[in-house]
Homo-oligomer: A and B are copies of this chain.
Amino acid sequence: MQQYFSKQAQPAENTDFTLDAADSYHLFTVMRAQENEQVQVVFADKKLTLSAVNADLKSLRVLHTLERQIELPLDVTIAVGLPKSDKLEFITQKATELGAHEILAYPAEWSVTKLDAKKIVKKTERLNKIAKGAAEQSKRLMIPDVTILPSRKNLLTLFSQYDQVLVAYEESAKSGELAAFAQSLKTAEVGQKLLVIFGPEGGISPDEIVAFTAEGASLIGLGPRIMRAETAPLYVLSAVSFYQELLK
């Protein structure tokens, strides 16, 4: 069943509504939806409904609310050092499937890719479209915001908004540090906000480690194998899901 997001508040049952122009085009022109065909529509505040196509083939009506626990019990924001080529697109798609609450990219000291203000705007637009598509396909109740931060300082100023800030650090993994991430998940309570920071391909620089830990971040290792920059965020999100949704 197709799923769409609407920014409006959830209408009452049997009330008619229309989707955004782009989603309407997708549903009626691309998918050729017929009268009474059912789709899931998520309204503002993560309100999920079963809705049906009206005879006019332009509007829909709300059939009823669906109560589903779809989102991760923790709000996990991932912040990745700006990676090369289309890896940020890849991370955005996969992290959205895996339940990320928000996705940030920051210009790390060892990021090879540099983006000027104009490119940031364009790329951000594309990334948010990818997040929307992935959120629809994975039947999320929200679309993660994707933001490219202009500087590392912007990332540091966000730390105070989170209950825990973790930094995935290859050197921690190499030195056999295996307990910190598990400990962090054990102490995290439902609804808490986690920020997990990852380096670009070259890793996180010593200066960045100093800056992050000075602001209260904890270093975590992700096991004994070296993961590429774009793989580590998927590991973390999978682990959070496994621990919080399957194991508990």
Contact = CB atoms under 8 A, between A and B. Distances in A.
Interface stretch (A19-27, A103-111, A208-216, A219-227): A219-227
A140 B224 CA distance: 9
Given A97-B227, A225-B70, A234 B245 contact: no
A247 interface: yes
B224 A98 contact: no
Given A98-B235, A226-B138, A247 B243 contact: yes
A137 interface: yes
B238 A139 contact: no
Q: In this complex, which of A97, A137, A225 has the most chain B Cβ atoms within 10 angstroms of its Cβ?
A: A225
Interface residues on A, range: 20 to 34
A69 interface: yes
Nearest to A244: B223
B179 A224 contact: no
Nearest to A3: B226
A34 interface: no
Contact of A139 (B69, B178, B225, B245): B225
Q: Main SS of the interface on chain A?
A: loop
Nearest to A248: B182
Contacts of A68: 224
A206 B167 CA distance: 43
A181 interface: yes
A228 B137 contact: yes
Interface string A129-173: 000000001111000000000000000000000000000000000
B94 A226 contact: no
B235 A223 contact: no
A245 B227 contact: no
Interface of A: 68-70, 94, 97-99, 137-140, 178-179, 181-182, 221-228, 231, 234-235, 238-239, 241-243, 245-247
20 contacts: A70-B225, A97-B228, A98-B227, A98-B231, A137-B226, A139-B225, A178-B245, A178-B246, A181-B246, A182-B242, A222-B241, A223-B242, A223-B245, A231-B234, A234-B235, A235-B242, A239-B239, A239-B241, A239-B242, A239-B246
